[in-house]
Structure 1
Amino acid sequence: MKKRRIYYSLVMAVMLLLSACSASKNSTEAQYDRGTGQSGANQAGSGNGFTADTSAETTAATEEPKSSAGEAANNSDTNRKRIRKISLILETVEFEGSLKVITEEIQKSGGYVESSSINGSSTEYKGSRSAQYVLRIPADKADSFIKIMGNKMSLIHEEESSEDITLNYVDVQSKVKALEIEQERLLALLEKANKIEDIIALEERLSDVRYQVEQNTSTLRTYDNLVEYATITLNVDEVLRISPVENKSPGSRMKTGLTNSLFNIRDGFVETAVWFIANLPYIIFWGIVIGLSIFITMKVYHKKEKRQLSGPGQNTNAGRQEEGEQKK
């Protein structure tokens, strides 16, 4: 019995040892498998050479649009690229003084004249002259300039339009950045190139890239000028009186119409008198010519009549004289 107990005890001890060894082996293998898995991932990353960078770039790429989108949302109003175009029709009774005011205000605002023209002359009757200006005024001073024009002259009509070129501007700006990066890479490759064929190909591509950079940069400068300076078109008309602001009520319209009719009659008499006095030398000259022509014509006509009337009487007297001589 004692031998059996000892035998069973030894068997149990051996079985416990075997189970403990197998458990430790499994844990060691599991740890080894985890270690090999991590090392394999590291080896794969090191063997590829771009895994870590790619993950970092991917994270940055996923985060960058969010930040840029947030900035775009925050700066949606302040960073918009808009081109302002304003058209004004003005009336004035002091034509030279109004033109002087326009020139002074252009200089004060820091703008410039893109084109201008003046029609009519001071020798003609008043109210016949007009001026047209195309001005470039800084966008932040355009409103104050328009207000001054309205105060100095009578503003008859105002029209404004705005063109948003933000998308076009950003697109061209991105092209310039991409072309500049390509230009730097081409220069780096050109320094390392040894073959003539490679050098020629790189120089041709570099020349093309430089041309595109200059072209797109010029487009950006044009956009900047159009955005920074508002385009204001002025049409200034000289008038004898400022057109009143018409009210839509019937009574006011009738009053305005009657007033305009009386003014037109008065202006008609005045313009007729001015025309007569201004053209008086021509009237006198042609009056003398026409008067002399009529005088000469009438004189010739009277002479012919006298000849016709005196002809038959003379013939009868001559016949009577001849008969008297024959009787003697």
Structure 2
Amino acid sequence: MKKINLRLLTTALILVAIFTSACGAKKEASYGGRTGSVAMPEAIEESADNAVQSEYTSDSTAPETEGEITSESKNTNSVETNRKLIKRVQMDVETKDFEGLLEAVNSKVENLNGYMESSEVSGNTYFNENGSRYASMVIRIPSKNLKSFVAAVKEMGNVVNSSESTEDITLQYVDVESHKNALIVEQERLIDILKNAKKLEDIIKIENRLSDVRYEIESYESQIRTFDNLVDYSTITLSINEVRHITPVEDETVLQRMRSGLSSTFFNLKTGAQNFAVWFVVNLPYLIIWAIIIAAMAFSIKKILKKVENNNMKSNIKMPYTDNKVKEETKKDPADK
């Protein structure tokens, strides 16, 4: 009997423990349901308030995951391998065949898939000492074809001056691109929020922010296009001078320098005489007109001076006669008295 009573007691205790644990779980579930039902409207109101905030930056996003970290590392590696370089070249060229060099340059630009950004030709005067025409060109050539174009220009004419510069804009490019991508993410979030917005005030605020974001995205895209154009197409500033005497660009010995100096002196004397002859013939009508004017003025001045001289001589002849007459009158006065 004692054993049976012990078994019944233990069984009763187990049942009581199970019953009390079940009741506690049921109460917690009921309380949890009540709190969840109460908190639901507050969450909805809170999300509606957040919908009208005007700033959504990349700092407000969730913490970085491993996938984001790996993508950033991939981006940095791609930046290091794909640098954005702007190359500029400036060249001064001399030539005796001005028209031929211009045609050759234009043909080379077309063959290399480049284009002429600006071109100016001036000169064609009578009195230029070394030549008569000058051209200034700004040429855009694909960066991969830059070396071949520079080599071709050196073969076409006499390059007396050349300089090249490279500008690295990789960091600026990445910075602009990251700003644009952040704004695109913000734009997508604003569109999603706008779809769920119900209040007119919220809708107006979200649309205003959307217009600002779109304007900033367009501005960054325009800047990126400008960077891409400067990187993809190198800029060559080409100055072409038409000359009659090519300037030596290689190192010369003393004898060669003396010879080239004498040659340059005789060339300058010859060119000066030719320019003077051309100037004299061109301005001969003006010289004749001025000669006639000067001769007429000289003749008039000479005639006036001669007339003045004759008048002076006549006055000098009359003066002695009047003096004698006065003396005679003075002598007669005392006797008459």
Give TM class, smaller chain.
0.5 to 0.7
Map 1:239-254; keep pairs closer than 5 Å: 239-247=243-251, 249-254=253-258
Structure 1 residues 139 and 64: alpha-carbon distance in aligned structure 2, compared to 1, 3 A threshold: closer
Q: Partner of 1:163 in structure 2?
A: 167
Measure, in 1, the Cα distance between the counterparts of 2:97 and 2:298: 48
Q: Partner of 1:103 in structure 2?
A: 106
Q: Secondary structure at the match of 2:86?
A: strand
Structure 1 residues 181 and 290: alpha-carbon distance in aligned structure 2, compared to 1, 3 A threshold: same
Q: Does 1:120 align with 2:123?
A: yes
Alpha-carbon displacement from aligned partner over 1:69-121 (angstroms, at most 9, x marks no partner): 55555xx2xx2111111111111223334333333333333333333333323
Shift of 1:159: 0.7
Structure 1 residues 296 and 62: alpha-carbon distance in aligned structure 2, compared to 1, 3 A threshold: closer
Measure, in 1, the Cα distance between the counterparts of 2:124 and 2:74: 62
Q: Secondary structure at the match of 2:186?
A: helix
Q: Partner of 2:182 in structure 1?
A: 178
Structure 1 residues 118 and 67: alpha-carbon distance in aligned structure 2, compared to 1, 3 A threshold: closer
Aligned amino acid, residue 106 of structure 2: T
Alpha-carbon displacement from aligned partner over 1:179-213 (angstroms, at most 9, x marks no partner): 11221121111111112232222212211211111
Q: Partner of 1:14 in structure 2?
A: none
Structure 1 residues 297 and 60: alpha-carbon distance in aligned structure 2, compared to 1, 3 A threshold: closer
Shift of 1:149: 2.3
Structure 1 residues 124 and 104: alpha-carbon distance in aligned structure 2, compared to 1, 3 A threshold: farther
Q: Secondary structure at the match of 1:270?
A: helix
Measure, in 2, the Cα distance between the counterparts of 1:302 and 1:64: 108
Q: Is the 8 A contact 2:93 2:158 kept in 1?
A: yes
Shift of 1:226: 0.8
Q: Which sits farther off after the overlay, 64-73 or 275-284? A: 64-73
Q: Does 1:275 align with 2:282?
A: no
Q: Partner of 1:322 in structure 2?
A: none
Q: Partner of 2:268 in structure 1?
A: 264
Structure 1 residues 98 and 222: alpha-carbon distance in aligned structure 2, compared to 1, 3 A threshold: same
Q: Does 1:60 align with 2:64?
A: no
Map 1:220-259; keep pairs closer than 5 Å: 220-247=224-251, 249-259=253-263
Measure, in 2, the Cα distance between the counterparts of 1:87 and 1:173: 30
Q: Does 1:194 align with 2:198?
A: yes
Q: Is the 8 A contact 2:126 2:278 kept in 1?
A: no
Measure, in 2, the Cα distance between the counterparts of 1:72 and 1:117: 39
Q: Is the 8 A contact 2:92 2:159 kept in 1?
A: yes
Unmatched tracts of structure 1, length 5 or more: 1-56, 317-328
Q: Partner of 1:81 in structure 2?
A: 84
Measure, in 2, the Cα distance between the counterparts of 1:69 and 1:303: 102
Q: Is the 8 A contact 1:90 1:155 kept in 2?
A: yes
Unmatched tracts of structure 2, length 5 or more: 1-63, 321-337
Shift of 1:153: 1.9
Aligned amino acid, residue 94 of structure 2: E
Q: Is the 8 A contact 1:246 1:256 kept in 2?
A: no
Q: Which sits farther off after the overlay, 159-168 or 239-248? A: 239-248
Q: Is the 8 A contact 2:126 2:132 kept in 1?
A: no
Map 1:123-142; keep pairs closer than 5 Å: 124-125=127-128, 127-142=131-146
Determine which of 135, 152, 158 is the counterpart of 1:154: 158
Shift of 1:64: 3.9
Q: Is the 8 A contact 2:91 2:161 kept in 1?
A: yes
Alpha-carbon displacement from aligned partner over 1:40-75 (angstroms, at most 9, x marks no partner): xxxxxxxxxxxxxxxxx74434544554455555xx
